[in-house]
């Protein structure tokens, strides 16, 4: 039969193990999954527009540094549809107070459609 001290030892070991696991998780997050590290400031990613086409399926226009991409995004993958060119940085979407064009207008303009 277990006495009082055996039960206390079990709980002490349990709390010690939880503390060790929490400490390991903290160190992993701090050193291995740091998004505010030295490379984060050099990476310039801007999602210009996103449109849902089906449940869990999207089309997005993404600007990475000075290049603009049209991406198909689903639950399982991200596919490059086209690399868009000819969109200046002073588009109405980036100006304050100006009316933003909707996603369909941007897509038609960049795909050469009317």
Q: pLDDT (tens digit, 9 = 90+) per residue, 50-84? A: 999 999 999 999 998 888 999 999 999 999 999 98
pTM for the model: 0.44
Residues 57 and 81 both lie in one domain: yes
Q: Is 81 exposed, middle or buried (0-12, 13-18, 19+ CB in 10 A)?
A: middle
Residues 19 and 37 both lie in one domain: yes
Mean pLDDT of 32-37: 62
CA 114 – CA 86 distance, rounded (Å): 16
- Parent domain of 8: 1-41
Residues 29 and 53 both lie in one domain: no
In the chain, what is the straight-line distance between the N-terminal and C-terminal CA atoms, in Å?
Answer: 84
The full DSSP string for 42-103 is T--EEEEEEEEEETTEEEEEEEETTEEEEEEEESS-EEEEEEE----TT-GGGSTTSPPPPH
Residues 102 and 49 both lie in one domain: yes
Residues 50 and 34 both lie in one domain: no
């Amino acid at each position: 039969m277990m006495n009082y001290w055996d039960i206390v030892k079990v709980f002490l070991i349990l709390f010690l193990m939880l503390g060790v696991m929490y400490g390991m998780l903290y160190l992993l997050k701090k050193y291995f999954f740091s998004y505010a590290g030295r490379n984060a400031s050099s990476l310039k990613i801007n999602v210009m527009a996103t449109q849902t086409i089906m449940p869990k399926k999207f089309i997005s226009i993404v600007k990475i540094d000075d290049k603009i991409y049209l991406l198909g995004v689903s639950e399982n993958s991200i596919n490059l549809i086209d690399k868009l060119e000819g969109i200046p940085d002073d588009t109405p979407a980036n100006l304050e107070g100006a009316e933003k064009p909707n996603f369909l207008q941007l897509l038609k303009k960049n795909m050469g459609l009317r």
